[in-house]
Amino acid sequence: MILNQWKNKLPSNAFWCVLFTLICVNIFAVISGNNLLQQITKTLFIPIIFTYLLLIGKQIKTWILAFLLFSFTGDVTSNITSSFMLLNISSFFYCLSYLSLIVAVATGIKKLKLDKVIRAYLISVFLINAILLYVLFDLIKYYIPDSIEVTLFAVKSIALITLAFISFVDYLNSETKGSILFLIMVLCFAFSDVLHYISVYYLYNWSFVLLDRILHIVGLLFLFNYIKERNKTTSDIEIKAKAFLNSLH
């Protein structure tokens, strides 16, 4: 009831105006080097997107909801202090968020319909990405002063490779709009994470930080559209089911 009242009071484009303003402020904070403003804006994207999804009455899968919760917790804990303990906690929650996405996409694959050529291609892509991430890990691990963070970086990298691989399998298997939205979202998060580790532990450059934030925000927007697409598909199935049942009477 309260959500419907808010929805009726808000202008139709209020969400996009707020989101655009937040993106502009975030970009300004990165370019100007304002760390406090970066930290504040970083934690606001997920609550705004989640609130809007509730206002428009979209259903969110349990594992997607878990991703949003873990990712938001990771954002908050990474901003509290620069101590290694809380940075490790933040990385741990980000790992959990990616594992949640793995479960979300894996449970959606009902039956594989891939021939031998496609399977060989997928294995090749997976191995190439694994080698590239291993090279990055081997380069950066000497610059990460905390052994726990090195382990979490390795776990997060493995989770990202697995997530990208399963998402690619899902896209080739189903070739739906939802699967391509999910795949692009995962790729945005993966490149964003790589840039984050490079800028934090290897070579800081404000352009890397800016691109990292933009890719992460774009990934969240693709997640937003993925949730809308999933709801649309579910609604279409329900409408067809009702039409079929009505035709029996």
For the cut 80, the answer to whether the pLDDT of residue 22 exceeds it is yes
Percent of the chain with pLDDT over 90: 8
**Highest-pLDDT range among 37-51, 73-87, 138-152:** 37-51
Q: Mean pLDDT, to the nearest integer, of 80-98?
A: 76
Give yes or no for a contact between 155 and 133, defined as CB atoms under 8 angstroms apart.
no
Residue for token pair 């959500």: 3
Q: Would you place residue 84 in the very low, low, confident or very high pLDDT band (cuts 50, 70, 90)? A: low
Alpha-carbon span 84 to 141, nearest angstrom: 15
Two tokens at 205? 């450059």
pLDDT tops 70 at residue 248: no
Quick one: which of 140, 105, 112 has its CA closest to 223?
105
* pLDDT band for position 11 (cuts 50, 70, 90): low
Greatest Cα pair distance in the chain: 71
pLDDT at 85 over 80: no
Give tens-digit pLDDT for 132-173.
777 777 776 777 767 777 788 888 888 888 888 888 888 887
Tokens of 242: 């009702």
- What average pLDDT does the chain have? 78
CA 71 to chain centre: 8
- Residues with Cβ < 8 Å from 67, sequence gap 6 or more? 97, 98, 100, 101, 104, 223
Q: How many CA atoms lie within 13 Å of 9's alpha carbon, on the beta-carbon side?
A: 6
What tokens does 173 get? 């298997």
pLDDT beyond 90 at 70: yes
C-alpha dist (Å) from residue 73 to 15, 43, 86, 87, 173: 22, 9, 11, 12, 33
> Are the C-beta atoms of 167 and 186 separated by less than 8 Å?
yes
Mean per-residue pLDDT, 32-50: 87
Query: What are all long-range contacts of 123-129, with beta carbons under 8 Å and residues at least 24 apart?
Result: 125/165, 125/168, 126/161, 126/165, 129/161, 129/164, 129/165
* Higher local confidence (pLDDT), 239 or 162: 162
Total residue count of the chain as it appears in this document: 249
- 92 with 152: CB under 8 angstroms? yes
pTM: 0.80
Residue spans per domain, the chain: 2-248
Q: Write out pLDDT tens, residues 208-232.
A: 888 888 999 999 999 988 888 877 6
Looking at residue 96, its pLDDT comes to 92
